[in-house]
Amino acid sequence: MASTRVPPRTTDDHRAPPNTFDNCCSLSTTTDHSMDPNPNVLLNDNDHIAANVNKDLYRIVRPRLHDPGYFPDQRVLPYLNIAGFGVDAYIQIFDLRADLISALVERWHPKTHTFHLPCGEVTITLQDVAVQLGLSINGEAVTGLGKVPDPWGTCERLLGRVPPNDEEGRLTHIKFNWLKQNFRHLPSNPTQIDIIYVARAFILQLIGGILLPDVNQNKISIIYLLLLEDLEHAGRFSWGSAVLAFLYRELCRATKLSTKTMGGCCLLLQSWALYRMPFLASVSHQPYVWPLVNRWATAPGIGRSFAIPMNRMMIETHSGDAFIWMPYSEEHITALIPAWVTEQQQLFVSNVPLIHFYMVEWHDGGRVLRQVGCAQPIPNPPVDFEWIKKGSGRDAINWAQKREPYIFLWNMRHSRRPPLYVLGGGFSPTPEYAAWYMSYRKLFIFQGQYMLIQKDAQPDSSRWQPRNTQPRNN
């Protein structure tokens, strides 16, 4: 079966997506993969860094990050909680290791949204977003107008003041320095509206600096401000899925040989890698704290970095048998995770579109079921979203209408989890999966080495037990 292309839709077409959408995104252990396009073709594409790594062993992608640099007043915290960002106010910044992130980018497959490692396909899932960042992954899709009709009036209404225009006399972004200078401190005897202004300004810095940073490192798009008009409504958005959509998009962009900088939540990306591949951490015995991403900010030494060839070699050498499939299952870690995160577990490996305004990126949990302790069959071919990646978020479009077919699928998220079967023999791949993966995946990119999966200790499929797959009502 060839990769399935989802047909584009017009803003006037509000019908449910066609059945082919469900067919190509469901998980089946009986799918005919004889006609799968060879993913090595993509990884050998001249525009993918994996095809050029031996030409430039030290190619670096620089991650973007902007720390607000202060903790908000205690009177602001209740409003951050209402808007869904109460936990994220406590995120502590740590050094981003550009060489580690660059080595991970070399492993990223833009069509499957997975890293290809010797142990199999792995990825950052909605589970990782929830437990690492403390963001809700359940809720409405994060979308809206791509251009604010009256930016000056919007800022006056929602922030109480108007930032300066850019060099062309427009107001499309707000600089972080302006937000910090004007909203770091509450005025004397603040009113409730004064506190709400400060809360919105701090959330903008969290969104644009840590959670959804783009390559414009010193400013944030004003489109987010409209989503914060009603803080209670803001708390009903799935900010976690938007963060993952943006990170997926930036990882895909970073695989291009010409890319020099990378946005997205690289704190999440790096923390994910260190939890699951602790051999990459210069210090790995740090205490666990909530949110889990803060583990790497508790002591010096974490930011120490190896050269990119060393990271590349360590991933290739150790990730085959030293990848941690379920790092959050340890009792001392689960004790830190709030109940509301566990209640959203129905979405951890769901097959759903992730939406961030104009962006739509596919979350294919059916490819990484070992990350939730379940058997991994051969997955279906990936959904082809290449046509939709050509859009621009700068257009004056209501993306809630434009992306309605995908929002429809997102709203069905609780029924889109693949069937799960508990592993009965460890995390080694089944013989069928191993044979398929070795035939189609490029596992080694360092110095021209290729494909190797350990063939011993394969689990006995007769010991797999069906897991309850009934949807939860979150």
**Count of all residues that appear for the chain in the document:** 474
* Three-state secondary-structure class, residue 295: helix
Residue range 55-64: mean pLDDT, rounded: 85
- 31: tokens are 């799918």
Residue range 441-454: mean pLDDT, rounded: 48
pLDDT in tens, 229-268: 999 999 999 999 999 999 999 999 999 988 999 999 999 9
Residue 152: CA count within 13 A, CB half-sphere:
5
- Asked if the model's pLDDT at residue 275 lies above 70, the reply is yes
Residue range 216-220: mean pLDDT, rounded: 85
* Three-state secondary-structure class, residue 286: coil
Percentage of the chain modeled with pLDDT above 90: 62
**In this predicted model, which residue has the larger pLDDT, 145 or 37?**
145
Report whether 70 contacts 180 (CB < 8 A).
yes
Alpha-carbon distance 347 to 138, whole Å?
8
User: Can you list the positions of beta strands (E) in 332-420?
Assistant: 351-356, 359-364, 383-384
Domain ranges of the chain: 15-63+98-138+250-390+402-466, 77-89+144-234
Phi, psi of 381 (to 5 degrees): -60, 150
Q: How far is CA 3 from the centre of its chain?
A: 23
pTM for the complete prediction? 0.85
| Eight-state DSSP code of residue 297 | G
Mean pLDDT, rounded, of the chain: 82
Residue range 146-160: mean pLDDT, rounded: 95
Report whether 123 contacts 351 (CB < 8 A).
no
The distance in angstroms from the start CA to the end CA of the chain is 35
pLDDT in tens, 93-149: 988 999 999 999 999 999 999 999 989 999 999 999 999 999 999 999 999 999 999
Residue range 372-382: mean pLDDT, rounded: 92
- Asked if the model's pLDDT at residue 396 lies above 50, the reply is yes
pLDDT in tens, 412-447: 999 999 999 988 778 988 889 988 888 866 666 654
Report whether 452 contacts 439 (CB < 8 A).
no
pLDDT in tens, 321-342: 899 999 999 999 999 999 999 9
CA 458, 277, 244, 248 torsion-angle sign: negative
